[in-house]
Structure formats: structure tokens, C-alpha cells
A and B are shown apart, each in its own frame.
Chain A
Amino acid sequence: MSVIVTPTTTPGASNAADPAGGSPTPGAVSAAPAVRSRFTRGPGRWVVLVLVTVTALAVIAPFLLMLLNAFKSPSDYSTNGPLSLPTEFYTEGLTTYWNQVDYPQKLLNSIVISGTVAVAATVISLLNAFALGIGRVKGRVWIVGLFLLANMLPQEALVYPLYFFAKQVGLYNTQLSVIIIFTVIQSAFGTYLLSSVLTTFPRSVLEAARLDGASRWQVLWRVIFPITRPTLSVLVIFFFIWTWNEFFIPLVMLISNSTQTVPVALATLQGDRLMDAPTTNAGALISLIPCVIFFLIFQRTLTRGVMAGAEK
């Protein structure tokens, strides 16, 4: 069976879920050699390639414009406008933003929050899925349905009580509050996904382990964990990125300089209308760099998505 699941925790940042157990890269779909050579000729293919490439360039144009203007001095920008090449390699916009928001601090906050959430949510997902998918505890269909539902909830429906409770217990404006909230929100998706993966886990393997005298914990740790590790590592990567990109709850929960994340810091400063265009672009540029690095490292995983087919 193939499970297609796509979490909806963030408005824009969605995610790829690959239903088939690993799809070949499109280019690898090789027709029979004779057929292939028949269709690879002709100038028409270049026209199509150019059209699609132009579309792709349009998609990255905002980033190119950002790059172009991140290295301009404000006076250069005001005299020559947004389209000219910088007259000098001006890096003060970058350093201004870096110091103004204490960027290393923000980067550390984002890494701590996203990293903790990614690992904790994956652990919780695995434990939940072990009980639901392998243990098949009573009412598991309803429980999984509940987690699926939780996954669709708008954060607005939770935010005020969370904000209020966090204030009551002294967790307001702490990273811990955001870590706990997103551990639960991300693991709602992880539980849903992993439960369906583990439901199809070969019973014979579990039976064999049990006959060898393995305890429940050993089955989880020595059998299920190693086998599902590829899926788990994909979950860790996705949870990290989704949490990194989260905006609404961090905006509400984190109000001081020492706790805010990279995206919240940029949005807050922009909201104060304190930044000129080059500084805005420089700020956006250094806010995006960690994501771009992450994207380049995990490009294949991210674009090919979660492999949920478990019949291998």
C-alpha cells in the first residue's frame, strides 16, 4: 500500500510526500534505446527547454534582485535604483543587520529550537506509532484520526490558550514553550505517517524477534528503529525545516531579542520600518543562507520526499 501524506502545519512551506517507495529520477526513465534516439532529436526540445528555464528564472528572480541589492550602499540605491549593479562591494548593510539583531544569537535560537523539536518530535512519533501501529492498542483508528485532525487545525485556534497558559506557568517568552508546542504539532503528523508505515510492518519479523526472547523495548530499539531509520531521518529533516520556517506561534511567544528566531527577527525589524532597502535585502539574504545551505545538502531528500511505502 502506498500512503500519501502531507502535513499542513505551515501555510507556505509544504512538503513532498512520495507515495511510491522511491521514484526514479525523471531522467532515468529510459525508454528502449531505439525509441529514445527517435525522440531526442529535433530543435523543438530546445524551445521547450528555454521556455521552462525562463519560468524557472522568473521563480528565482526575487532572490537575484535581493542579491543584487544586498551589497549596495543606501546612496547608491537611491541614485541608481534597484536594477543597477552595485557601484562598489558594500557590506555594511550585512554588518548593520548582523549587529542590529545580534544575528549569531538568532541563529543559535533557531538551531536550538528546530534541532530539539526535530529530534523530540521524531522520538514521540516513533513511540506513538509503536503503540498504535505495532501494538494496535484499542481505539487506534480513532486516535490516528485525532492526530490527523490535529494536523489540520489552524494555530489560531490554539494560540490564545497556549499564550495564556504559558504566561501562567512562566514559560512565556522562552524557547522551551515553542519547543514543546512544535514537538507536539510536528509529532501529530509524524504519528499519523509512522503509524500507517508500521501497520504494514511484516508480522513475521516481529514474531521471529519475540521467539528469540526479545522484550518489547528490544523489538522497538533493535528491530523497528534500524529498519525505519531512513523514514525517521527524513522526518527529522522535515521537522527541522518546518520548525525553522514557523512564524505565527514564535511571533506570539517570543518577544525579546534573546529568544527570537531568524524569521521573527527580520519580520519584527521590518515591521518597525527602521530599515532602508539595502539593509532589508541584506537581512533577508543572511536570513535565507542557512535554509539554502540546508536545501543544497538535503535537496534530493526534500524534493523526492517521504518514502512511506513499507513493503520492502
Chain B
Amino acid sequence: MSTITVTRRPHRERSYWTYFLPGAVLFTAVIAIPLVYNIYLSLTRWSGVGKPRFVGLHQYTRLFSDELFWTSFRNSLAMIVAMVVVPTIIGLVLAAVLFDYLGRRFRGSVVSVLRATFYLPQILPVVVAGIVWGWILRPDGAVNAILEAIGLGSLAQDWLGDPSFALPTVMLVMVWVQIGYPVVIFMAALGRVDPELYEAAELDGAGWWARLRAITIPQIRPETYVVALTCTIAALKVFGPIFALTRGGPENTTNVPSYFAYTTFFKKLDVGYGAAIATVLTLIIVLVAAGFMVFQARAERKDA
């Protein structure tokens, strides 16, 4: 018996590797090599033609003294507020209301339709939604028309063109884009919670708010981590909405790292510098993800 396993083993191992081969080759060609090559490019000066010239860490020292670099990463923080903090809080309340209040007082289809409505912006191309928003927020667009119609015409603005309004306006659009995601995840998570918990709490006289704090929030903590992590990464990477709404303007007040890298690569043809921006962004994302995972593991251990 033992001789059979010994002779069969190497064969078995090899034949499982063959299943992994296509995936491994593609992964190497499309992700591993480009990633490494991009890091190399960040150490060079290159316009995309001819040979890259090695300049060491020059692009990075240049980066840290570039005002635009700091602006773009400051705007990333604004994106985190708009795409993580606010949607998670609103999403939590909406999911709890839909699940623990309306879900028990109305037919399931009512809740399903509402949930689907909140989720709709998530499945549409964000660029197309951005273009619609761009028109709505134009000086002659729908927002100003509504303000005028209700007698608040004095509040009308060039929402995306005014440097002091552009970033908050973009943030509001991002809240709109993101809101459905936590709602759907949290509602799915609540489906896992034993309904008797809610019933017992309700019979004991716990109001909706008390149930939210004592049952809902602790029960869906794992999902909250996932939502926070994935949305934070999405916020650090955001590109499409900025492209559609403002192209980073006015005066770079809404520029973000990904758009900054894009223009540096393809408009300024400063490839080495663009690669440095992209490398720093990658590093930040990896650190944020690792930090989240350590934090989550520690919190879970504490619970156990």
C-alpha cells in the first residue's frame, strides 16, 4: 500500500500543476511582469519612446516636493469620507430600517424593490452616471433649476466649476454611487441573524435604536470590516467619476492619485514620474489592506 502512494504521489502533484499552468502564465504576463516593470520605470526618466534613462530615486524626491501630489492624496482622504465613512453609516441605518422595521411590517416585495433601487447606481457604468451628474450640476443644469423653482435661486452655483464647491459636490456624488453597496451587504448579513434575537429583544421592550446597537451592529461586524476595506481601496483608486465630472479641476481641487498618474503617463508623457505616483499609490493600498486585516484578526481574537 505504502509503495503505491509513494509512486503515485509525484504524478499526482504534477498533474494538478498542469491545471494551474494557464492561469499562472497569464497572471505572470498581465500582472506580475507589468507590476515589476512599472516599479523599474519609476526609477527612470522616459517619455515612452527611446530608452528609459535610470535616475535612481529622483522621481520620488520630486514627488514628495510636488504640491499636486499632496493635494491628490489629501483628496483621497476626502474620497474615503465620501465613499467609506458616510455610506457605511447611512447604509447601516437604511439596512436596519429595511430589515428590522419595514421588513416586518410590509410585504417582502416592498423591501426588495427599495433595496434594488438603492443598489441600482452600483451596477451601472459609473462613467455614464458621472456624465449625467455632470450635466445635472452644470450652471444651467437641473440642480440650479430646482433651486430657482423653489425660490432659492440665490444658492445656485457652478457646482463643479467653482474651486470651493467642486470637491464637496464630487463627494456627494460619490456617496450616491456607493450607498447601495453597504445596504445590500448589510441586509444579506442580517439574513443570517437569528430572528428570535430581535423578537426576544422586542418583547423585552427594546426599541428600534436599542436593537440596532445591541443586535444589528455587533452581528454584522465582519461585514462592516469587509465593506470598510473594499470601499477604502475603491476610494483610493477612484478614477471614472473624476474623469467624467471634473477631470481633476478646477485648479486641481478634485485631482486624485489615479487621475494624476493617468495625466502624467498619457498627457505629459512623463512616464517615470507617472510610474512613481502609481507605485506610491500601490504601496499605500497594500499597507491599508494589510493594516485592516491585522486589525480585523486582532478584533476577532478579542471576541473569541
Contacts and interface: CB of A to CB of B under 8 A. Distances in A.
Contacts of B104: 29, 31, 36, 39-40
B122 A12 contact: yes
Contacts of B181: 14-16
Contacts of A130: 16, 19
Given A12-B241, A252-B266, A266 B191 contact: no
19 contacts: A6-B226, A20-B188, A23-B192, A26-B111, A27-B109, A82-B136, A135-B12, A135-B16, A153-B285, A156-B258, A158-B31, A159-B278, A160-B38, A277-B141, A281-B135, A287-B125, A295-B123, A295-B124, A303-B112
B285 A154 contact: yes
B33 interface: yes
B131 A157 contact: no
B143 to A, nearest CB: 9
Interface stretch (B59-67, B152-160, B172-180, B209-217): B172-180
Most chain B CB inside 10 Å of its own CB: which residue of A15, A16, A39: A16
Interface in A54-102: 55-56, 59-60, 62-63, 65-66, 81-83
Contact of A29 (B117, B195, B240): B195
A8 interface: yes
Given A25-B191, A62-B133, 16 more contacts: A16-B188, A17-B226, A18-B188, A23-B190, A25-B112, A45-B106, A65-B132, A82-B141, A125-B23, A131-B23, A132-B20, A159-B262, A159-B265, A248-B258, A266-B127, A295-B123
Interface of A is mostly: helix
Interface in A126-179: 127-128, 130-132, 134-138, 143, 146-147, 149-150, 152-162, 164-165
Using C-beta atoms within 8 Å of the partner chain, give the interface range for chain B: 35 or more
Given A48-B101, A154-B237, A35 B31 contact: no
A191 B23 contact: yes
A245 B31 contact: no
Contacts of A303: 112, 115-116, 119, 184
B184 A62 contact: no
A248 B281 CA distance: 16
Contacts of B166: none
B281 A59 contact: no
Most chain B CB inside 10 Å of its own CB: which residue of A26, A27, A127, A304: A26
Interface of B is mostly: helix
Interface string B137-149: 0101110011001
B222 interface: yes
A96 B235 CA distance: 35
B256 to A, nearest CB: 10
A267 interface: yes
A26 B128 CA distance: 31
Contact of A287 (B109, B128, B230, B279): B128
Contacts of A218: none
Contacts of B138: 277
Most chain A CB inside 10 Å of its own CB: which residue of B99, B123, B145, B199: B123
A115 interface: no
Contacts of A111: none
A52 B94 contact: yes
Contact of A267 (B26, B33, B35, B244): B244
A52 B119 CA distance: 14
A32 B202 CA distance: 12
A13 interface: yes
B121 interface: yes
A32 B174 CA distance: 41
